[in-house]
Every structure is written in structure tokens, then in C-alpha cells.
């Protein structure tokens, strides 16, 4: 019987044992689902942003309302936009102070005569002798167009605009659209009780009209 050499047995016993091969399990990655975007949520955020912008603009609008111009400030003419108390009296005060030569009352009812207007305002008829009545205007835009025709007719280069403090910005916006660039407009705002609803309405109308003009509306 042949025995293996001792050295050969040592080599066999010292040979490292290989660990059994591990079978790799397939790695399954979980896919994260994208959050669902709600259409109502998007609109809600847009409305919230617009509301914040509107509120900020309204505060600025309210804090910077125009004031009455000094009665002694001179101009070629004075234009009174109907629609509020105190406007006609303010225009007449300007005429009688010699600060303007002629006055236009824009937006008078078609059936209203000079005599009726004087009686309604508690004025003497002779005080309206240098006053023209405008019957064509029905809103702020047509007020401006009627004023522009009147300014061109008399060749005026400056005018005092009399309207309420909340309405002034929109009225000036419309006048800037139709008046020649060299005609100077002096804002003369008639103070009103600063009621938030009325000021908010005027502010909203001003924003809408400004946006419409920016988009090319006439």
C-alpha cells in the first residue's frame, strides 16, 4: 500500500475552502409616484396671488388719492364730469375766480337745459353764461372723447379736470388716450367721503381699463 508523502498531505489540508456561491436576488426599486396636480389647486393658488396683488395695489391707490388743486391755478378751461355732488360748484368757483375762461359740463342728460341745470344746482342762470353742456357722453371714455372735441374746437392748451377723487385716475387715463400730447391737464379732485366699497370699485375699473388699453383696446 503506497502512502502519500507528508508534504503532499499538508498541501491538500491547507488549501483554502471556497465559500458556496451566493445566488444574487434581483433588486426591485420602488418607483416614487409623482404628486398629482389638482386643477382646482392651481386655480386656487393663482386666485390667491391675484388677490394679494389687488390688495396691495388697492392700499397704494387709497393712500395716494389726488387732492383739490389750488383755486388760483390758471388754465385755459375747466372740464366738469357729471356724476357727483360738488363738481359743478367747483367748476363755477374756478370760473368766477378768473382761473379759467370757459367750462364744459360733460355727460349732461339729453333733455336737460341750461336753466334746469342751474335750478338743480341752486345757481343763478347768468352764472352759466360761459358754460357749455355736453350731451354725448355716457361714460368715462365718451367723457374724454367729448372733451377732446371741445378742446380742439376752442384751441385750448390747458384744462382743469374736475371729478371725484376716486374717479380722477381713470378719467386722466382716458384723456391721455385722446388729447394731444401738448395739452396740459390739471387734476382738481373733489373730495368725497372715503368709503371703501366705492373706492374699491373705482380701483377695479381703473385696473380693467388700463389692462384693456395695454392689450390694444380703444
Q: Looking at the DSSP assignment, which residues form a beta bridge with residue 80?
A: 105, 162
Domains identified in the chain and CATH numbers: 77-193 (3.40.50.620)
Neighbours of 99 (CB within 10 A): 19
Q: What are the distances in angstroms from CA 97 to CA 100, 164, 197?
A: 8, 21, 35
CB within 8 Å of 109: residues ≥ 6 apart: 135
pTM of the model: 0.77
Q: What digits encode the pLDDT tens for the residues 122-164?
A: 778 888 889 999 999 999 999 999 999 999 999 999 999 999 9
Answer left, alpha or beta for residue 107, where phi above 0 means left and psi between -120 and 50 means alpha. Answer: left
CA 171 to CA 185: how far, in whole Å?
Answer: 11
Q: What digits encode the pLDDT tens for the residues 63-105?
A: 999 999 999 999 999 999 987 768 998 999 999 999 999 999 9
Residue 217 pLDDT greater than 80, yes or no? yes
Amino acid at each position: 500500500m503506497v502512502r502519500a508523502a507528508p508534504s503532499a498531505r499538508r498541501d491538500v489540508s491547507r488549501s483554502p475552502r471556497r465559500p458556496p456561491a451566493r445566488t444574487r436576488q434581483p433588486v426591485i426599486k420602488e418607483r416614487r409616484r409623482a404628486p398629482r396636480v389638482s386643477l382646482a389647486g392651481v386655480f386656487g393658488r393663482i386666485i390667491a396671488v391675484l388677490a394679494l396683488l389687488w390688495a396691495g395695489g388697492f392700499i397704494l391707490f387709497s393712500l395716494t388719492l389726488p387732492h383739490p388743486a389750488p383755486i388760483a391755478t390758471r388754465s385755459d378751461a375747466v372740464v366738469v364730469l357729471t356724476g357727483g355732488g360738488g363738481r359743478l360748484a367747483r367748476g363755477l368757483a374756478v370760473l368766477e375766480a378768473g382761473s379759467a375762461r370757459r367750462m364744459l359740463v360733460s355727460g349732461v342728460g339729453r333733455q336737460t337745459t341750461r336753466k334746469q341745470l342751474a335750478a338743480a344746482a341752486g345757481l343763478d342762470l347768468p352764472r352759466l353764461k360761459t358754460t357749455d353742456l355736453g350731451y354725448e357722453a355716457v361714460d368715462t371714455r365718451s367723457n374724454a372723447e367729448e372733451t377732446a372735441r371741445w378742446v380742439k374746437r376752442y384751441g385750448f392748451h390747458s384744462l382743469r379736470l374736475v371729478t371725484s377723487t376716486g374717479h380722477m385716475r381713470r378719467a386722466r387715463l382716458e384723456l391721455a388716450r385722446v388729447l394731444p400730447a401738448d395739452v396740459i391737464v390739471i387734476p382738481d379732485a373733489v373730495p368725497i367721503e372715503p368709503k371703501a366699497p366705492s373706492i374699491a370699485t373705482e380701483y377695479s375699473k381703473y385696473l380693467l381699463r388700463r389692462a384693456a388699453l395695454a392689450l390694444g383696446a380703444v
